[in-house]
C-alpha cells in the first residue's frame, strides 16, 4: 500500500516544497499552458494499492485525478465519471488543454478499468475504452500523437489500441489470441508510451517486466529496443552441476537460461501455455533435476532445464511457493516453502503462509509436511542436511527458524525467538551442525541450531537472504544482503569481507556458484545478473543439445582493469548497464539486445499438468 506526494518548485528546481499529500502514488503531472496555476495530477499504478483501500472488505480506495487552479495551494478531486480511481497514466491534448486521456486499472481492483476521456478540463469523464472480455487488470498507458493529435494510443498488458478520432473510438492493434510484444517475447505491463513527434505511426513502449519496445506500424508489430538497459528483478539463480557456463534464472520477467555464462539468454516457459511470470524460486539437484515456482501460477514446475512438466498445488488464493530445496543426498526428495502475498511477486511478511510441502519423486507430486506449529508458517527459506534427507530447516517470517528431524512430520523452533523474521538458512555441506541464518544480521550455530551466535566481524545488521558454499572448500562461503551486496568469508563464517566492487546495485536476492568454484553468480533486484570469475577467466560455453536458439544478446564493452582488496578477480556484468566508477575489474556487457527483461514463451519440450 502506498501514499503519494506532489512537490512544487518556484526557482528552477533549486528548492522543492510539498503541495499535496494523499492516499495513492502521484504519477503524471500536467500544467495547463494557457494558465500555469491550473495543474492536473494522476494517482495510482497497477501493482500498488492505495493507502485508503481495504482488501478485507474489497474497498478499492484511490485518489483518481486531482486538480488545482491556484498553483497547488488547494486541490480537489476531478473524478466525475471515473469508475476506477487507479489512474496510471494521464495525457493532455497538445492543442487543447481541456482535453485529457486517462488510463485506469489495478491488478487487485480492476473493476471498470479502461480508458477515459474528458473534454472539459476534468469536470466530467467519459469511458471510451473498457476491457471488452475482462482479459486484463486494466489499462496502464495513454498518449496523443503530438504531430497529429487525432491519433492516440492506449495499452494494457495484453493489447495495444489506436484511435484515429482523438480518443473517442478505438481499434485493437494486437490480434486476438496473442499478447503484444516481439514474439516470442511478451511485452509486459506498459508503463509509458512515447510517440515519435515526427511520425504518429512510430512509438515506443517501456514495459514493466518486458523492457523497451519499438513499433513503426502504429502498434501492429514490435521489436525489442532495450540495448543498454535492464531492470530485471531476479529472485532465483542456479548453475548446472557440470557446466559452469550454463545458468538459469527466474524473476519478475520470467525464466531464462544461458549456455555461455550470461552472454546470451533464452526464455523458457515451464508453465506453458502461460508464460512464466513473477518467478520466485529455483532449485537444482546434483543430478540436474530442477524445480521452478512463480507466484502467478501457485504451482511448481519440474524438469531438466529443457523439458518441463507442471504440478498444481491448489494453494489458497494469494499463497505461493517462496522457497525450494532438494535433499543433497537424495535428489528424489525436495521441499517447498509456502509464503503469501497481496500483490504478486512481492511476498507480504505479515500474511500467514502454508508451511512446508514435501515431494518424494523429484517434484512430480507434493504433500504438506507440517504439524500444528508451522501449519500457517510463512516460509522464506529451506535448507536440507547434506547427509540426511529427513533433517530440514525452514526459515519463516512468522515462526522464527524451525527444524524437523523426521521429514516434516514434526517441527520445533530452534531460533531464540519465534517472532523474529528469518529470511535465509543454510547448512554447511561438510558439517551439518554448522548452520547459518539470516535476519536483521547474520547468525551462526555450531550445534545444529540449538544455540546461536551473532556474527559481528564484517557482517552488518542487515537482511541476509542467501548463502552459498565453495564446493572445493566449504570454509569459503558467500552471503547476499538485500541492501548492502555480497560478502565473502574464508573461515567458515566467522569473519566477512564485502566484495562489491563494480556491483551496480547492492540489492542482491540470490547467489549461485559453479561446481568448480571458479564462477559466482548474483541475481539482483532491478539490475539483472552479475558474474564474478574468481579465477580470472570466463566459463566455457555449454550449449543444450536441443534447446531452441532464439536468444537475446549482450555485446561486451571493456573497461580498464583496477585492483581489488578481496582477490585477483575478473568479473562479468550480466546487465545491460555501463560500469562507471567501479573499484574492481568487472567487465560490463552492454549493447546488442535485451537482457533479462522479457518473458519469452518457447516450446522447449513436453508439458503436462499434475495435481499435487
Residue 439 CB-half CA count within 13 A:
24
Which residues are CB-contacts of 56 (< 8 A; sequence separation ≥ 6)?
none
Chain length of the chain = 612
Question: pLDDT class for 255, splitting at 50, 70, 90?
Answer: confident
Instruction: Look at 230 and 86; give whichever has higher pLDDT.
Output: 86
Domain end (from 156, 190, 224): 224
Rounded to an integer, what distance in angstroms lies between the CA atom of residue 513 and that of residue 534? 10
Between strands 570-574 and 586-588, the pairing is parallel
**Residue 228, pLDDT score:** 60
Based on the number of CB atoms within 10 Å of its own CB, is 517 exposed (0-12), middle (13-18) or buried (19 or more)? middle
Instruction: Look at 560 and 189; give whichever has higher pLDDT.
Output: 189
Q: Most confidently modeled of 282-291, 553-562, 574-583, 598-607?
A: 282-291
Domain check: are 509 and 370 in the same one? yes
Domain ranges, residue 29: 4-224
**Residue 306, pLDDT score:** 82
Q: Of 152-166, 185-199, 240-254, 561-575, which range is least confident? A: 561-575
Strands (E), 126-210: 126-130, 139-144, 152-156, 160-163, 171-172, 181-182, 185-186, 189-195, 203-208
With a cut of 90, say whether residue 323 has pLDDT above it. yes
Rounded to an integer, what distance in angstroms lies between the CA atom of residue 187 and that of residue 184? 9
Share of the chain above pLDDT 90, in %: 60
- Whole-number average pLDDT of the chain: 84
Domain check: are 359 and 218 in the same one? no
**Residue 272, pLDDT score:** 63
| Mean predicted confidence (pLDDT) in 528-551 | 78
Omega of the bond prior to 549 within 30 degrees of 0, cis?
no
**What CATH number is associated with residue 559?**
2.130.10.10
Domain check: are 204 and 289 in the same one? no
C-alpha cell belonging to residue 475: 570454509
With a cut of 60, say whether residue 565 has pLDDT above it. no
| Mean predicted confidence (pLDDT) in 32-36 | 96
With a cut of 90, say whether residue 302 has pLDDT above it. yes
Domain check: are 282 and 420 in the same one? yes
Question: pLDDT class for 606, splitting at 50, 70, 90?
Answer: very low
Between strands 508-513 and 519-524, the pairing is antiparallel
Domain check: are 185 and 295 in the same one? no
Domain check: are 210 and 265 in the same one? no
pTM attached to this predicted model: 0.74
Domain check: are 252 and 356 in the same one? yes
Domain check: are 201 and 279 in the same one? no
Domain check: are 261 and 152 in the same one? no
Is 229 part of a structural domain of the chain? no
Domain check: are 468 and 406 in the same one? yes
With a cut of 60, say whether residue 319 has pLDDT above it. yes
Structural domain total, the chain: 2
Rounded to an integer, what distance in angstroms lies between the CA atom of residue 165 and that of residue 225? 29
Backbone angles phi, psi at 364, to 5 degrees: -75, -40
pLDDT in tens, 481-493: 999 999 999 999 9
Is 612 part of a structural domain of the chain? no
Contact 244/516 with Cβ under 8 angstroms? yes
Domain end (from 191, 224, 257): 224
Domain check: are 528 and 564 in the same one? yes
| Of 38, 190, 30, 48, residue with least CA distance to 109 | 48
Is 506 part of a structural domain of the chain? yes
Rounded to an integer, what distance in angstroms lies between the CA atom of residue 212 and that of residue 597? 9
| Dihedral over alpha carbons 277, 283, 289, 292 (to 10 degrees) | -20
**Residue 186, pLDDT score:** 75
**Residue 187, pLDDT score:** 81
Instruction: Look at 131 and 148; give whichever has higher pLDDT.
Output: 148
End-to-end CA distance of the chain: 33
Radius of gyration for the alpha carbons in the chain, expressed in angstroms and rounded: 25
Rounded to an integer, what distance in angstroms lies between the CA atom of residue 357 and that of residue 293? 13
Contact 455/494 with Cβ under 8 angstroms? yes
| Of 293, 263, 346, residue with least CA distance to 525 | 346
**Residue 131, pLDDT score:** 74
Domain end (from 200, 224, 248): 224
Is 551 part of a structural domain of the chain? yes
Backbone angles phi, psi at 407, to 5 degrees: 70, 20
**Residue 592, pLDDT score:** 25
Secondary-structure breakdown of the chain: helix, strand, coil percentages, each rounded to the nearest 5: 0, 45, 55
DSSP letter (8 states) at residue 540: P
Tell me how crowded residue 462 is: count the other CB atoms within 10 A of its CB.
18
Domain check: are 207 and 254 in the same one? no
pLDDT in tens, 191-236: 999 999 999 999 999 887 667 899 999 999 998 887 666 677 889 9
**Residue 297, pLDDT score:** 64
Is 370 part of a structural domain of the chain? yes
Distances (CA, A) of 87 to 27, 44, 90, 112, 131: 8, 5, 7, 12, 15
Share of the chain above pLDDT 70, in %: 84
With a cut of 90, say whether residue 57 has pLDDT above it. no
| Of 599, 598, 596, 551, residue with least CA distance to 576 | 596
Is 350 part of a structural domain of the chain? yes
Is 363 part of a structural domain of the chain? yes
Amino acid at each position: 500500500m502506498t501514499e503519494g506526494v506532489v512537490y512544487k518548485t518556484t526557482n528552477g528546481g533549486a528548492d522543492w516544497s510539498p503541495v499535496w499529500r494523499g492516499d495513492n502514488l502521484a504519477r503524471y503531472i500536467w500544467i495547463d499552458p494557457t494558465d500555469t496555476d491550473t495543474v492536473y495530477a494522476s494517482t495510482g499504478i497497477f501493482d500498488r494499492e492505495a493507502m485508503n483501500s481495504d482488501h478485507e472488505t474489497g474497498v478499492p480506495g484511490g485518489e483518481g485525478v486531482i486538480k488545482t487552479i491556484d498553483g497547488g495551494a488547494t486541490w480537489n478531486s476531478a473524478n466525475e465519471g471515473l469508475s476506477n480511481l487507479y489512474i496510471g497514466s494521464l495525457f493532455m491534448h497538445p492543442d487543447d488543454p481541456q482535453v485529457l486521456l486517462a488510463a485506469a486499472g489495478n491488478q487487485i481492483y480492476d473493476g471498470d478499468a479502461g480508458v477515459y476521456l474528458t473534454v472539459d478540463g476534468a469536470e466530467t469523464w467519459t469511458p471510451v475504452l473498457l476491457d471488452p472480455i475482462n482479459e486484463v487488470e486494466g489499462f496502464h498507458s495513454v498518449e496523443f500523437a503530438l504531430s497529429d493529435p487525432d491519433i492516440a494510443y492506449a495499452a494494457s498488458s495484453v493489447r495495444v489500441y489506436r484511435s484515429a478520432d482523438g480518443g473517442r473510438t478505438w481499434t485493437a492493434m494486437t490480434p486476438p489470441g496473442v499478447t503484444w510484444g516481439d514474439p516470442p517475447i511478451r511485452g509486459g505491463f506498459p508503463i509509458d508510451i512515447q510517440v515519435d513527434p515526427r511520425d504518429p505511426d512510430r512509438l515506443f513502449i517501456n514495459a514493466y517486466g518486458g523492457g523497451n519496445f519499438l513499433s513503426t506500424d502504429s502498434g501492429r508489430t514490435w521489436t525489442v529496443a532495450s540495448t543498454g538497459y535492464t531492470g530485471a528483478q531476479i529472485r532465483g539463480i542456479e548453475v548446472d552441476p557440470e557446466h559452469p557456463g550454463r545458468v538459469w534464472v527466474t524473476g519478475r520477467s520470467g525464466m531464462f537460461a544461458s549456455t555461455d555464462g550470461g552472454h546470451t539468454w533464452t526464455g523458457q516457459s515451464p508453465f506453458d501455455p502461460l508464460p512464466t511470470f513473477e518467478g520466485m524460486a529455483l532449485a537444482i539437484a546434483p543430478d540436474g533435476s530442477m524445480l521452478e515456482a512463480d507466484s502467478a501460477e501457485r504451482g511448481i514446475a519440474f524438469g531438466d532445464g529443457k523439458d518441463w512438466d507442471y504440478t498444481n498445488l491448489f494453494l489458497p488464493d494469494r499463497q505461493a511457493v517462496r522457497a525450494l530445496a532438494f535433499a543433497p543426498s537424495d535428489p528424489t526428495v525436495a521441499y517447498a516453502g509456502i509464503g503469501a502475498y497481496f500483490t504478486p511477486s512481492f511476498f507480504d511478511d505479515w500474511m500467514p503462509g502454508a508451511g512446508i510441502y514435501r515431494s518424494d519423486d523429484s517434484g512430480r507430486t507434493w504433500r504438506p509436511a507440517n504439524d500444528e506449529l508451522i501449519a500457517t508458517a510463512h516460509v522464506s527459506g529451506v535448507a536440507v542436511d547434506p547427509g540426511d534427507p529427513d533433517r530440514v530447516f525452514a526459515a519463516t517470517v512468522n515462526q522464527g527458524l524451525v527444524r524437523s528431524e523426521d521429514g516434516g512430520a514434526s517441527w520445533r523452533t530452534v531460533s531464540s525467538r519465534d517472532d523474529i523474521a528469518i529470511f535465509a538458512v543454510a547448512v554447511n555441506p561438510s558439517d551439518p551442525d554448522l548452520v547459518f541464518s539470516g535476519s536483521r544480521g547474520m547468525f551462526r550455530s555450531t550445534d545444529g541450531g540449538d544455540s546461536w551466535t551473532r556474527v559481528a566481524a564484517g557482517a552488518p545488521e542487515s537482511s541476509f537472504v542467501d548463502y552459498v558454499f565453495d564446493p572445493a572448500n566449504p570454509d569459503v562461503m558467500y552471503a547476499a544482503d538485500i541492501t548492502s551486496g555480497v560478502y565473502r568469508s574464508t573461515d567458515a563464517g566467522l569473519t566477512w569481507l564485502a566484495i562489491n566492487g563494480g556491483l551496480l546495485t547492492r540489492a542482491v536476492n540470490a547467489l549461485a556458484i559453479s561446481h568448480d568454484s571458479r564462477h559466482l553468480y548474483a541475481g539482483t533486484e532491478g539490475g539483472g545478473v552479475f558474474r564474478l570469475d574468481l579465477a580470472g577467466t570466463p566459463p566455457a560455453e555449454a550449449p543444450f543439445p536441443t534447446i531452441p536458439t532464439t536468444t537475446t544478446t549482450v555485446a561486451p564493452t571493456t573497461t580498464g582493469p583496477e585492483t581489488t582488496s578481496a582477490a585477483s578477480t575478473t568479473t562479468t556484468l550480466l546487465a545491460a548497464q555501463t560500469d562507471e566508477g567501479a573499484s574492481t575489474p568487472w567487465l560490463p556487457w552492454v549493447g546488442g539486445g535485451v537482457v533479462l527483461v522479457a518473458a519469452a514463451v518457447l516450446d522447449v519440450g513436453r508439458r503436462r499438468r499434475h495435481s499435487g
